Structure 1
């Protein structure tokens, strides 16, 4: 399922847990309808959206983590596939957008933090950096968060970024994909596209 990657030299990927709103964000970025479901784990294979003009695409990778009714070995396989995909294509990936649920992320990270456990989200953030893919954390569903500043500082803290979050605006982007409020993400992505000499892709962000 992961093998049929369109032949594109530049790519932006969306990664994250199931049910954080990746497919909704994908639709917001591309203007293209993507299957979304009420049940987590609907996206099981990469959704590529490639424009006919430039040599570029945006890819929504399957969500990982707990999914109702999905056996653990399948969940682990999805996570492995996502990691392998990013690793194999790292030299073509301009930005890795890690989507978090702003309302639940801190609780989930804290619940899975322990001496022998690194939370998936934190692990993925550092993994992107390790393979030289610029990470942008899209903190979604911020319209449902009461204390935005505190929540974003807490997320920075969990990711090993020194708060306040405002000094990480190329990395932390508070958004509400459902409401179409994604300006902070566009700004962050454009920063990295500019650094990569790809201002030609601004038209998509």
Structure 2
């Protein structure tokens, strides 16, 4: 299921829990609709979108974490597959976009924080950074958030980076994908592409 990757050198990946809006964001970035069901966990294998003349692919990885109606073993298997995929292609990934739901992310992180538990979102953020993959946290559904700055500062705190969030504009990108409001994400991604001398890919962001 995870061996469908087109033979492309450069890659940008979207990763995150189920139902945070990754597929909607993928549609905004590519102009191409992917099969997204109303229920979580519809994307079970990666969606790749590549442009024929370009040595570049955007990949929407399956959602991880709790999915109603999906057995825990299956959830763990999906998560393992995602981790293995990222490890295998880490050298090719120019930027990872970790998509979170701005409205619920703090509650979810806090609910899963215990002495033996690292919440998936926090764990994924540090995993990507350990692999030295430039990472942007796309904080989606911000149209539903009232206390915007406060919420983004709290997210920085949970991720282990010092608030205020505004000093992390290449890392924290508030967006509302379904309204097409993703300019802060595009700017953050371009920043990382530029650092890797890939301004040629700006046209996609």
How far apart, CA to CA, are the structure 1 residues paired with 2:24 and 2:111? 26
Query: What SS is found at the alignment partner of 2:41?
Result: coil
Does 1:103 find its partner at 2:103?
Answer: yes
Q: Which residue number in structure 1 is paired with residue 91 of structure 2?
A: 91
Q: Which residue number in structure 2 is paired with residue 143 of structure 1?
A: 143
CA shift at 1:4, angstroms? 2.1
CA shift at 1:53, angstroms? 1.6
Moved segments of 4+, more than 4 Å? none
Q: Which residue number in structure 1 is paired with residue 172 of structure 2?
A: 172
Range with bigger deviation, 2-11 or 102-111:
2-11
How far apart, CA to CA, are the structure 2 residues paired with 1:64 and 1:161? 23
CA-based RMSD of the aligned residues comes to 0.4
The alignment covers a number of residue pairs equal to 205
How far apart, CA to CA, are the structure 2 residues paired with 1:30 and 1:84? 25
How far apart, CA to CA, are the structure 2 residues paired with 1:134 and 1:73? 30
How far apart, CA to CA, are the structure 2 residues paired with 1:27 and 1:53? 20
Does 1:160 find its partner at 2:160?
Answer: yes
- Equivalent residues in 2 for 1:117-132, closer than 5 Å: 117-132=117-132
- Equivalent residues in 2 for 1:38-53, closer than 5 Å: 38-53=38-53
How far apart, CA to CA, are the structure 2 residues paired with 1:69 and 1:132? 34
How far apart, CA to CA, are the structure 2 residues paired with 1:155 and 1:36? 27
The unaligned stretches of length 5 or more in structure 2 are none
Q: Which residue number in structure 1 is paired with residue 64 of structure 2?
A: 64
The unaligned stretches of length 5 or more in structure 1 are none
How far apart, CA to CA, are the structure 2 residues paired with 1:4 and 1:27? 19
Query: What SS is found at the alignment partner of 1:115?
Result: coil
How far apart, CA to CA, are the structure 2 residues paired with 1:4 and 1:16? 19
TM-score normalised by length of structure 2 = 0.99
CA shift at 1:184, angstroms? 0.2
How far apart, CA to CA, are the structure 1 residues paired with 2:7 and 2:203? 21
Does 1:10 find its partner at 2:1?
Answer: no
